[in-house]
Chain A
Amino acid sequence: LAKTTQPISMDSYEGQEVNITCSHNNIATNDYITWYQQFPSQGPRFIIQGYKTKVTNEVASLFIPADRKSSTLSLPRVSLSDTAVYYCLVGLRLTGGGNKLTFGTGTQLKVEL
């Protein structure tokens, strides 16, 4: 399974755009790139997923270059409630069903006033 590397922590202020970059140099052809968000005392929550180029939803954007060896999660105009740990994952669908997600260390984002 592809290993991911992302910054341990980031600080930002309300209203700013935050970009969190994740490296996954040995990503496989069939792997998707997925980002999860985890608040204290809660389970991780799906944010966005992509395979290549750019994906945008109501929460975030995901930029993936052509070589797919990295990806960048972009959070527009963050607020205090975006303070959380953000995990970058690459997933491989198993033959027998289901998916074995491997979580890395995650990036602790702290948003201040």
Chain B
Amino acid sequence: DTAVSQTPKYLVTQMGNDKSIKCEQNLGHDTMYWYKQDSKKFLKIMFSYNNKELIINETVPNRFSPKSPDKAHLNLHINSLELGDSAVYFCASSQDQGTGDGYTFGSGTRLTVV
């Protein structure tokens, strides 16, 4: 069983389109995250939800909107896609009391905007 699963794995789309990436975790974790990894391999946190409540919102354009229907799911919707949005997006989850050891990452969604 995949602990943190993301769909789709690859996404190629044109500028200006709207797309969504879905994430689900079956670990029973309370907190979920979205990270962005750019071409230089820097991993940056974008959002974090704890029990469906937004607790971290880094400096991310308003075009990015996370949604957490329940604590097992955290989806990412992106409006008006731009070339600079091309990256690998990772979903992750952790226990509420985690100090950094309990992160489980998904395998990533490679987004290419053309």
B-binding residues in A (CB < 8 A): 32, 34, 36, 41-46, 49, 85, 87, 89-91, 93-94, 96-103, 105-106
- Cβ contact within 8 Å between B33 and A98: yes
Q: Does B94 contact A (CB under 8 A)?
A: yes
Give the chain A neighbours of B104 by CB distance below 8 A.
46
- Cβ contact within 8 Å between A102 and B45: yes
- Cβ contact within 8 Å between A34 and B41: no
Q: Which of B42, B98, B106, B108 contacts A98 (CB 8 A)?
A: B98
- Cβ contact within 8 Å between A97 and B41: no
Interface residues on B, range: 20 to 34
Across the A-B interface, the 8 shortest Cβ-Cβ residue pairs = A43-B105, A91-B100, A98-B31, A103-B43, A97-B50, A49-B101, A34-B100, A96-B55
Q: Give Cα A93 to B33, complex, Å.
A: 14
- Cβ contact within 8 Å between B100 and A49: yes
- Cβ contact within 8 Å between B42 and A103: yes
Q: Which of B30, B41, B56, B99 contacts A85 (CB 8 A)?
A: B41
Give the chain B neighbours of A103 by CB distance below 8 A.
35, 42-44
Given contact pairs A98-B31, A102-B45, A106-B41, A93 touches B97 in the complex (Cβ within 8 A): yes
Give the chain A neighbours of B105 by CB distance below 8 A.
42-45
Q: Give Cα A27 to B37, complex, Å.
A: 24
Q: Give Cα A89 to B104, complex, Å.
A: 15
A-binding residues in B (CB < 8 A): 4, 30-31, 33, 35, 41-45, 48, 50-51, 53, 55-56, 90, 92, 94, 96-108
Q: Which of A43, A98, A106 contacts B48 (CB 8 A)?
A: A98
Give the chain A neighbours of B108 by CB distance below 8 A.
41-43
Q: Give Cα A83 to B35, complex, Å.
A: 23
Given contacts A43-B105, A44-B90, A103-B44, 9 further A-B contacts (CB under 8 A): A32-B100, A44-B103, A46-B103, A87-B43, A91-B100, A94-B56, A97-B96, A99-B100, A105-B41
Q: Give Cα A97 to B105, complex, Å.
A: 18
- Cβ contact within 8 Å between A98 and B50: yes
